Amino acid sequence: MPNAPQLTTKNLAILSDQLGQEALLVHKYSHAAQAVTDPAIRSQLFSMSDQHRKHYDTLLNYLNSHQ
């Protein structure tokens, strides 16, 4: 985006923290899904991991569009 507003240091810190939290959730839900044997629970955990991966990707794309 050529006219994207600059992000403040505070906003960059918030985005960085949120990216870290989303990455952690992706890892935790994926790891938990691999540890359970119940197919319904496993499916739900993988779904939650995928949702947080989408959040992470959205935040990263937003950040990249403001560089």
- Give the pLDDT confidence of 15-33 residue by residue, as tens digits: 999 999 999 999 999 999 9
Name the average pLDDT for the chain.
93
pLDDT number for residue 62? 94
User: Looking at the domain assignment, is residue 9 inside a domain?
Assistant: no
DSSP state of 3: T
Domains identified in the chain, total number: 1
Residue 10, domain member (yes or no): no
Query: Which residue bears the tokens 């935040």?
Result: 59
- Say which residue the tokens 């990707």 belong to: 57
Whether 2 maps to a domain, the answer reads no
Task: Tell me, yes or no, whether 51 lies in a domain.
Answer: yes
In angstroms, rounded to a whole number, what is the distance separating the alpha carbons of residues 66 and 46?
Answer: 31
Reported confidence tier of residue 2, pLDDT bands at 50, 70, 90: low
Residue 44 has pLDDT above 90, yes or no: yes
Domain that residue 28 falls in:
22-65
**Does the residue 31 lie in any domain?**
yes
Q: Is residue 50 part of a domain?
A: yes
CB-based contacts of 46: which residues, under 8 Å, 6+ apart? 29, 30, 33
